[in-house]
Structure 1
Amino acid sequence: MAVSFANVNSEAGLKKLDEYLLTRSYITGYQASKDDLAVYSSFSAAPSSKYTNVARWYSHIDALLRLSGVTEEGKGIKVESSAVPVASTPDVAEAKAPAADDDDDDDDVDLFGEETEEEKKAAEERAATVKASGKKKESGKSSVLLDVKPWDDETDMAKLEEAVRSVKMEGLFWGASKLVPVGYGIKKLQIMMTIVDDLVSVDTLIEDHLCEAPVNEYVQSCDIVAFNKI
């Protein structure tokens, strides 16, 4: 089901989005996608820092766009117009509910789409932890930009990227990438990844996976260009 948001330039819209991002790093899924880009583009200005979760998400997407762009396909979202509506409820845009079965008499409007039982349980547990600790929620994730350098100008960069992405670990999510000219016909691969801090060590990932067989057939070295908590 597509997710729907009210006017994100209004107090009510920002509050709803802030609550939605309390237990999420991205609008949908576990990687930055075109859904994030759609919501990001609907802002007329950077959100106030008092909306902690929105400000954190906005800064992260802004950084991704500056570094490598967002290319992951989205799941579909809807953002209401930023213009102030003329209706009697100026701060809340009405969300069009999906067609219901004849025997469905639930009139509640779900602005953010249906969540699975697992998502609801995870959100409840995270909210309970935040309430108990009295601290702001920490995502426990980091966004990392890597420079991956080939052996020489004859290295097949498509196979190099394929080898890098073949590394699979719990808590590791590969993102956008691009080739950057270095000189003398040589290019390096810049690739984004999101990691769950408690599950993935970047140093271990590089030393034990990216710089070892079979990946090191194509990869000479890897360097961390940017490392940001999200």
Structure 2
Amino acid sequence: MVVTFNDLGSAAGLKKVDEYLLSRSYIFGYQASKDDITVYAALSGAPSASYVNVSRWYNHIDALLRISGVSGEGSGVTVEGFAPAEAVATPPAADSKVAAAENDNDDDVDLFGEETGEEKKVAEERAAAIKASAKKKESGKSSVLLDIKSWDDETDMKKLEKEVRAVQMEGLLWGASKLVPIGYGIKKLQIMMTIVDDLVSVDTLIEEHLTVELINEYVQSCDIVAFNKICKYSKF
């Protein structure tokens, strides 16, 4: 089942969503998913309280994004003129080498023969993977919401977001985003990210990557709107 919503910036569009959510907690199913992120990101901001169901749903999804993220796959909701959003704060599957290291036994090791170059390489990779896994088990992660403001109304916001997401480093996962009008035709990019606390410094990320590298052409300022510790975990 695929649902299509039209023109969420209009009263008619919001009314349709409000009626749709009358008997539902989420766009599809019983947990937040990519479908909820798609509709959430397509809205320009919090809907009027007169749209009771949409307002209730929006506030709930907004709270999930600020605290823990959304990982459900969804069923493919479509908002005309808006691309489906990525789920946020979803840790990737564990490294296959780590899994292999945990499940391997010593039956395949020739204790009486000379270690070959390939065996030595496998052993080193296994030791490194286990060491990295142990380190990550001691780390926590945080959910961070950023406001990235453009210089003027002529800034290509799609290109700005592309440049922001191009910033990659170990322990950083970009999540959902949306454009929010701030006046005089100027918009800001509001974007979620999940970080491994021991690997990513938010101040360094902002000062050395998001502002210094992009300041001249795209970014006027970058501010932290929300910073929430999520949990201790064993995978990222």
With the shorter chain as reference, the TM-score category is: 0.3 to 0.5
**Bigger radius of gyration:** 2
Relative to the length of structure 2, the TM-score reads 0.45
What TM-score, normalized by structure 1, do the two folds share? 0.46
